């Protein structure tokens, strides 16, 4: 049986050695080669442990930490989103309340403006009516005055005609003086 030492310290058994071992009585021989195979298997496990399993575990742990970190960040982001949603809801409610108060103030102001314009229109109408009354009264007084003057002129002319026919000069002067005095009293 020829044994060849491999690059990593493995022992390779040549094909004639395997064939000879199989003729002898079974798959496993309890001789020195079993110990060498066990040592080779142990070395293989050690190499796999150091080169593959530890880095694999480290990578798994790193991935687990990254997932935990992502979960914590997601929870924080969710809490922040919830806080912002509540903040926006509160801001919307505040804006709605402010809009309602502005609307109510505008309605009050419009009602007050309407009331004030109505009062101003009534006052203007009253002033116009009073001005019209004053003008009518003045026109009535003027018409009465003109009527008095015309009546006085007509009366004087009628009286003059009558007096000329029936009165003397002294009586005539006396009547004219009394008429003038009476006219001055009525004015």
Residue 17 near residue 3, CB atoms below 8 Å: yes
pLDDT at 19: 46
The whole-angstrom separation of Cα 38 and Cα 108 is: 100
pLDDT at 84: 95
Residue 165 resides in a domain? yes
Residue 180 resides in a domain? yes
- Domain coverage including residue 162: 149-186
Helix (H), strand (E) at residue 87: helix 54-166
Residue 11 resides in a domain? no
Phi-psi region of 168 (alpha: psi -120 to 50; beta: other; left: phi over 0): beta
Per-residue pLDDT of the chain (187 residues), as tens digits, is 555 555 555 555 544 454 444 455 556 667 788 888 899 999 999 998 888 888 888 999 999 999 999 999 999 999 999 999 999 999 999 999 999 999 999 999 999 999 999 999 999 999 999 999 999 999 998 888 887 777 777 677 767 767 666 666 777 678 778 878 877 777 6
Sign of CA dihedral 142, 148, 149, 151: positive
Number of domains in the chain: 1
The single-letter DSSP state of residue 4 is E
Residue 181 resides in a domain? yes
Residue 140 resides in a domain? no
Residue 27 resides in a domain? no
Residue 169 resides in a domain? yes
């Amino acid at each position: 049986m020829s044994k060849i030492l491999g690059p990593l310290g493995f022992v390779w058994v040549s094909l004639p050695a395997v064939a000879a071992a199989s003729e002898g009585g079974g798959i496993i021989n309890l001789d020195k080669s079993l110990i060498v195979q066990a040592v080779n298997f142990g070395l293989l496990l050690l190499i796999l442990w150091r080169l593959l399993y530890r880095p694999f575990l480290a990578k798994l742990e790193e991935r687990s930490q990254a997932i935990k970190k992502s979960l914590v960040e997601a929870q924080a982001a969710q809490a922040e989103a919830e806080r912002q949603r509540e903040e926006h809801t509160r801001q919307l409610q505040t804006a709605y309340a402010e809009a309602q108060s502005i609307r109510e103030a505008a309605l009050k102001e419009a009602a007050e403006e309407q009331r004030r314009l109505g009062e101003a229109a009534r006052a203007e109408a009253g002033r116009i009516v009073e001005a019209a009354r004053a003008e009518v009264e003045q026109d009535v007084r003027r018409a009465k005055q003109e009527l008095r003057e015309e009546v006085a002129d007509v009366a004087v002319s009628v009286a003059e005609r009558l007096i000329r026919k029936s009165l003397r000069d002294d009586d005539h002067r006396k009547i004219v003086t009394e008429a003038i005095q009476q006219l001055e009293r009525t004015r």
